[in-house]
Amino acid sequence: MLTFGLVALAGVAGYEVGRRQAGDVEPSANSPTADAGATPGETARLREEVARLRSENERRAKTPATPGEPAAAVRALPAAADEHAARMAKLRALAEAQKDKTASINLPIVTRDGKLAPGFAQMFDLTPTETEALQNAVAQGRQQIDGLMAANATVTPSGDTVVVEVKPFAGGGDVYDSLMDAFARTLGPERNELFLALQTDQLTRAFNSFGGEERTLTFSREPGIGGSEPRLVLNDRQKAPRSTSTSTMTYPDLAKLPEQYAWVVPLVPQVSTLPARPRPAPNGPNAFRP
C-alpha cells in the first residue's frame, strides 16, 4: 500500500518528483517543472507526503517482514528466482553428462507403487499444484497398467504353486502418451526437455514396459520359522524387450504384498490354502526353482 501510494502521488506531482528522487535541486512552486495545475500550498503538501512515504518505504525495506506480509513475498522473489536458476543449471549439467556418457545418471522419478519419487519435486522446482498434478497422473497411469495386466493375466494352479502369466498386451501405448503429455503440460518446455533427457527408460521399467513385457508370478508357501505360520513366497520374473529380471520375496500372506502387486491379489485367493513346501537347503536338491 505504501509503495502504491508513493507511485500515485508521484504521478500527481509529475516530473518534479522524478527530479527529487534523482537528487536534483528542488524547484520552486513557480518553476516550469512544477505542476501547473497545483497551487503553491498544494504542491508543498504533495512534496511533504511524497517525502513521508519514501521515508516509510525505506524504513520498511530495512525491517524484517512478518511471514505472509506482501512485502516479504516481494523480497523473496529474487531469492526464489536465483534458487530456480541454480536447480535448472544443475539439471542441465546432469543432462549433459548423460548425453556425453561421462556419467550414468539415475534420477529417481517414480516408485513402483505409483508415486512420484521423493526429491523429484524439489529437483524440478515443482509448486504444490504441479506436484499434485503429476502425482495424480502417475497414480492414474499405474492404475490403468495394473488394470490391463489383470485383464490379460492367466492363472494356473499347479500342485503346490499358483502361476500367473501376463503376455504383452495392447492399450499400454495410450497410457504412455497420456503420462508423457501430463509431464510436458505440467513442467513446461524448459523442465520437460531436461526431464526427457534424464528419465531415460525409467518410466518404461516402472510401468512394466507399458504392456511390452512378459511377466510370470509364481506363488508358493514355505514353513514358518520355529513352528510359526507358513509364509508366502513370490517369484517375480519380468522379461522386457531388452532385459530380464527375477526376484524372490517372502511375505506373511497376500494382504502384506506391496502396493505394486495389489492387482494380482484378487486373482489368486487359493494361494492362502496351498500346502507349504519343505524349506529348501541352499543349492540343495530341494531348492525352490519355479
In a domain, 135, yes or no: no
In a domain, 83, yes or no: no
Q: Which pLDDT score, from 0 to 100, does residue 12 have?
A: 34
Q: Which pLDDT score, from 0 to 100, does residue 290 have?
A: 46
Higher-pLDDT residue of 63, 203? 203
pLDDT in tens, 179-224: 999 999 999 999 999 898 888 788 888 898 999 999 999 999 999 8
Phi, psi (rounded to 5 degrees) for 235: -105, 120
In a domain, 17, yes or no: yes
Q: Which pLDDT score, from 0 to 100, does residue 55 have?
A: 61
pLDDT in tens, 130-187: 999 999 999 999 999 999 999 999 999 988 999 999 999 999 999 999 999 999 999 9
Domain region containing 55: 2-62
Q: What is the distance between the alpha carbons of residues 185 and 192, in angstroms, rounded to a whole number?
A: 8
Long-range contacts (CB closer than 8 Å, 24 or more residues apart) made by 142-145: 142/113, 142/114, 142/207, 142/260, 143/114, 144/171, 144/175, 145/172, 145/175, 145/207, 145/208, 145/210, 145/211
Section 6-28 average pLDDT: 37
Q: Which pLDDT score, from 0 to 100, does residue 107 have?
A: 77
In a domain, 13, yes or no: yes
Q: Find residue 234's DSSP bridge partners.
A: 219, 249
Give the full edge-to-edge strand order of the sheet including 153-158.
153-158, 161-166, 214-222, 231-240, 243-251
Q: Which pLDDT score, from 0 to 100, does residue 282 have?
A: 60
Higher-pLDDT residue of 18, 114? 114
Would you tell me the crossing angle of helices 70-100 and 172-199 to the nearest 10 degrees? 90
In a domain, 169, yes or no: no
In a domain, 46, yes or no: yes
**Which grid coordinates are listed for 252?**
506373511
Q: Which pLDDT score, from 0 to 100, does residue 279 have?
A: 67
Q: Average pLDDT, whole number, for the chain?
A: 77
With a pLDDT cut of 70, the percent of the chain lying above it is 68
How many structural domains is the chain composed of? 1
In a domain, 142, yes or no: no
Q: Which pLDDT score, from 0 to 100, does residue 52 have?
A: 63
In a domain, 217, yes or no: no
**Which grid coordinates are listed for 36?**
501547473
